[in-house]
Amino acid sequence: TFDCAAVTTGPGSELLGVPNITWGFGFYLSVALLTVLVFGVGPGIREWVQGVRTGLLTGGVLYAAYLTYLQVGPIGAFCILCLVSAVLATFLFGTQIALFVTSSSSVESPMPTRLVKRQIALFIYFAAAAVVLAGAGFVYVDGGQASSKAAPAAAAHESIPDQCELEAKDPVAENGASLVSFQDITKGSGESGVTVVEYFDPNCPHCKDFHQVMKKLVEAHSEEVRFVYKPFPLRQSSLPEIQALYVAAQSGKFSEMLDAQYARQNRSGISMSDLRAIASEIGMDSDVLSEKVDQNAHRDQVLKQRKRAVKIGVDSTPTVLVNGYFVKTRTPECMNTFIEQAKAGTLGGSASK
**What domains does the chain contain, in order, with CATH numbers?**
4-142 (1.20.1440), 147-352 (3.40.30.10)
Residue 281 has pLDDT above 60, yes or no: yes
What's residue 188's pLDDT? 94
CA distance 178 to 162: 32
319-328 pLDDT, tens digit per residue, is: 999 999 999 9
Instruction: Give the mean pLDDT of 45-59.
Output: 83
Amino acid, single-letter form, for residue 251: S
Instruction: Give the mean pLDDT of 5-23.
Output: 70
Q: Is the model's pTM score more than 0.85?
A: no
Instruction: Give the mean pLDDT of 56-72.
Output: 86
CA distance 278 to 241: 11
19-50 pLDDT, tens digit per residue, is: 777 888 888 888 878 877 776 677 678 778 87
Computed over every residue of the chain, the mean pLDDT equals: 81
Q: What percent of the chain has pLDDT over 90?
A: 42
What's residue 162's pLDDT? 55
What's residue 122's pLDDT? 60
Q: Where are the beta strands (DSSP E) in 70-176?
A: 163-164
229-257 pLDDT, tens digit per residue, is: 999 998 888 999 999 999 999 999 999 99
What's residue 143's pLDDT? 43
Picking from 251, 255, 244, the residue whose alpha carbon sits closest to that of residue 293 is 244
CA distance 134 to 139: 9
Amino acid, single-letter form, for residue 283: G
Picking from 188, 119, 165, the residue whose alpha carbon sits closest to that of residue 320 is 165
What's residue 330's pLDDT? 96
What's residue 165's pLDDT? 92
Long-range contacts of 67-71 (CB under 8 A, 24+ apart): 67/12, 67/20, 70/7, 70/10, 70/11, 70/12, 71/7
Q: What's 52's DSSP letter?
A: H
- Please provide residue 220's backbone torsions phi and psi, each rounded to the nearest 5 degrees: -85, -30
What's residue 260's pLDDT? 97
96-133 pLDDT, tens digit per residue, is: 777 666 655 555 444 555 555 555 566 556 656 555 55
